[in-house]
Every structure is written in C-alpha cells, then in structure tokens.
Amino acid sequence: MNLHDLLHKFNLTSITLSAPFATAEIQFVSADETAAWAMYVELITRSALQALSDEQGDEQAALASIYSLFAMTRDILREYGRKGQAFSKIALIVMNQILRPFTTKWHKNLGEEKTVPVHVKASFRKDLAALQKELRKYAALLAEMAKAEDISSLCYSDLET
C-alpha cells in the first residue's frame, strides 16, 4: 500500500503530499507498530480530545494539551524514528499539516489572556471539534499500524463521528 492510499483509507484527505512522497510504498515494521501504539495511547488519553461543552472545560488547558502532542511525538520519533520510518512519515505529516495550523492560530488568538471573550471561546471550540475529528482519524490509523483494536470510539462517545 502506498502512503496516499493509507491516508485516504482513514479519510485523512486534507493532507497534502508531493507526488513522489504520496506514492511511496508503506510497510510497517516492529518499530512502526511500537511507535504507533505509544502515540495512540497518548492521543486517546488527551483531555483535549474530549468534547468541550459550553459549560465545561478551559480553552487554554485544551490548547496546552493539544500542544503537548508535539513534545510527545518528538520523544517517540527520537526513540523509534530511524527504525520506524513509516510511523515517522505519518506522524510528521499530521503534526505539521493538522496540528501546527491549529496551535499557531490559537496561541496567537488565545494568548495568555485570563478572560477570553465569548465569541473567541465559541470559535476555538468549533475549531477544536473539527481538529478532534481529524485526530480521531489519525488515532484509527495508528491503531491499525499498531495492530490493535481502535477503541477511540469508546473513549470519545460524545464526539460526532
């Protein structure tokens, strides 16, 4: 299977790939499986991946939790990256094309404000819900890479699928 087909299998269609990179054949080795499992566990246990109702939660805490995925991904890449090149390719694409635009926008717009205007909160929560849908697709892909059952739907039953 090539990378393009794998990403499309999990409906990660917003990701842009260069032609040679998209057609690269993907085969998972043991290091890919282990790295994917480590990232899967981190991803599905994030509090920021839970639905954030209007009455609950904190935007800055949710943003910090999403941002912490960068450090966790870097740690996993340092440990498995050279041996798990398929995982590395996918993780880097997700970090740079899905997470980075979100965190860049919201670090600028939320900042360190103690009081966030209601319209800003509403916009953040809308963007967060959209991000969560993409991250659920990534979680499913990671579960397949790890040869594990994807239980993310059990963890996020309050999110739309």
Confirm if 39 and 91 have CB atoms less than 8 A apart: yes
In a domain, 88, yes or no: yes
Q: Is residue 119 part of a domain?
A: yes
Taking Cα atoms as reference points, which of 143, 152, 149, 150 lies closest to residue 35?
Answer: 143
How many distinct structural domains can be found in the chain? 1
Phi and psi angles of residue 25, each rounded to the nearest 5 degrees, phi first: -70, 140
At residue 120, the pLDDT reads 86
Packing angle of the helix pair 118-145, 100-110 (nearest 10 deg): 160
Q: Which domain holds residue 52?
A: 3-152
Q: 139 lies in a domain? A: yes
As a whole number of angstroms, the distance between CA 9 and CA 28 comes to 16
Quick one: which of 5, 33, 27, 32 has its CA closest to 17? 5
Q: Is residue 21 part of a domain?
A: yes
Model confidence, pTM: 0.81
The tokens describing 96, both together, are 């740079």
* Residue 158 domain flag: no
Domain-located, residue 11: yes
Distance of alpha carbon 129 from alpha carbon 116, whole angstroms: 18
DSSP code, position 49 = G
Looking at residue 127, its pLDDT comes to: 93
CA dihedral over 4, 103, 134, 141, signed as positive or negative: positive
Angle of CA points 57, 60, 64, to nearest 5°:
110
Predicted pLDDT of residue 152? 75
- 106 in a structural domain: yes
**Gap between the Cα atoms of 10 and 130, Å rounded:** 15
Output the pLDDT for position 161: 43
pLDDT of 85 reads 86
- 45 within domain boundaries: yes
What residue ranges of the chain have pLDDT lower than 50? 157, 159, 161
**Model pLDDT, residue 35:** 96
